[in-house]
Amino acid sequence: MTDFDEASMTSGYDRYLAAKTTVDDRALNRQVLAELRRLMPAGAPRVLEIGAGLGTMVARLMDWDVVGAGEYILLDADWPLLDCSRRWLCDWAVARGLRSELLPDGLQLGELRVRLVHAELGGYLEAAHGSPADVLIANAVLDLVDVPAVLPGLLRLLVPGGVYWFTINYDGESIFEPGHPHDDQVMRAYHRDMDERIRYGRPAGDSRTGRRLFHQLRAAGAPALAAGSSDWVVSAGPDGNYTGDEAYFLRSILSTIQNALRSREDWVGPADLADWLAVRQRQLAAGELVYLAHQLDFAGRSPG
């Protein structure tokens, strides 16, 4: 999630983002996606994706025929991850039978030129940059930044009337089933950690990002033209196996909670946390763990 963002540059984070792909595929709100298709400029648009990670979104948007030509910029603060994205996208292109070529600053995927930009978002917004984008995308990212501080600058990265698609914005509710007596305590503490988090020297997260975006977008002069839920729903099939690499995805979610709370002993006692994790890990191994996270998607236009 978004919020369940393991400290970047950890080994395995690229696998977590790849494993998340099938979860996001199911979750992304189809009505909001239809609005993005309607708003998408014809021809060869310039797309900027912030916090792009491994680049799974550009692959998805090509698979779903939303983008196919033009320029697509992957911006992220994590250089090793961006570097991995070149290889990951080339492998994806080979599997799809799409012509691809590695380039010094990115790669070519068919008619689409993908460029990698290594930058921290706050610093990027403060510096001067080149031509504005036609489309701005943020997937599982806005709940990791200080939205009121960055939103006006983000919208200025777009041409007037340019299109935004902000997806998988966490909204304060994670559910693990079967229920456990420590669930409320653990999730309350996790949300508090998210609300107090500092990354890159800036406030970095809000456990209720999704609901707040409605009025934050309006206040920034860019009210949503479409909004809808994009909840993650992860459960094993009848054979007890999780889809794709989703068991790894769930393991990453549990270890993210563990890492966030291991130094918050006054919020959740170590014995309670250990008990909660042990039960969840057993349920995961048995294919019994169900995980739901409430999130929201938005599409609209920048002012002007």
Ligand X SMILES: C[S@@+](CC[C@H](N)C(=O)[O-])C[C@H]1O[C@@H](n2cnc3c(N)ncnc32)[C@H](O)[C@@H]1O
Q: Is 179 helix (H, G, I), strand (E, B) or coil?
A: coil
Question: 279: burial class by Cβ within 10 Å (0-12, 13-18, 19+)?
Answer: middle
CA distances from 254 to 6, 46, 140, 142, 205 (A): 10, 37, 17, 21, 18
Looking at the Cβ atoms of 2 and 295, the one nearer to ligand X is 2
Candidates 279, 240, 243; CA nearest to 258 is: 279
Looking at the Cβ atoms of 154 and 268, the one nearer to ligand X is 154
Smallest distance, ligand X to C-beta of residue 26, A? 14
Smallest distance, ligand X to C-beta of residue 153, A? 12
Smallest distance, ligand X to C-beta of residue 150, A? 8
Quickly tell me which residue has 């609005």 as its tokens.
35
Contact (Cβ atoms closer than 8 angstroms) between residue 30 and residue 37:
no
Smallest distance, ligand X to C-beta of residue 20, A? 6
Smallest distance, ligand X to C-beta of residue 149, A? 11
Smallest distance, ligand X to C-beta of residue 237, A? 23
43: its two tokens: 């021809």
Pairwise CA distance, residues 111 & 34, whole Å: 23
What is the binding site for ligand X (CB under 6 A)? 2, 5, 8, 17, 20, 51-54, 56-57, 76-78, 81, 120-122, 139-141, 144-145, 199-200
Question: Which own/partner contact pairs does 238-244 have at CB distance under 8 Å and 24+ positions apart?
Answer: 239/287, 240/286, 240/287, 241/287, 242/287, 243/22, 244/19, 244/21, 244/22
Looking at the Cβ atoms of 7 and 271, the one nearer to ligand X is 7
Smallest distance, ligand X to C-beta of residue 249, A? 11
Q: Are strands 111-118 and 69-76 parallel, antiparallel or unpaired?
A: parallel
94: its two tokens: 């080979």
Pairwise CA distance, residues 78 & 81, whole Å: 5
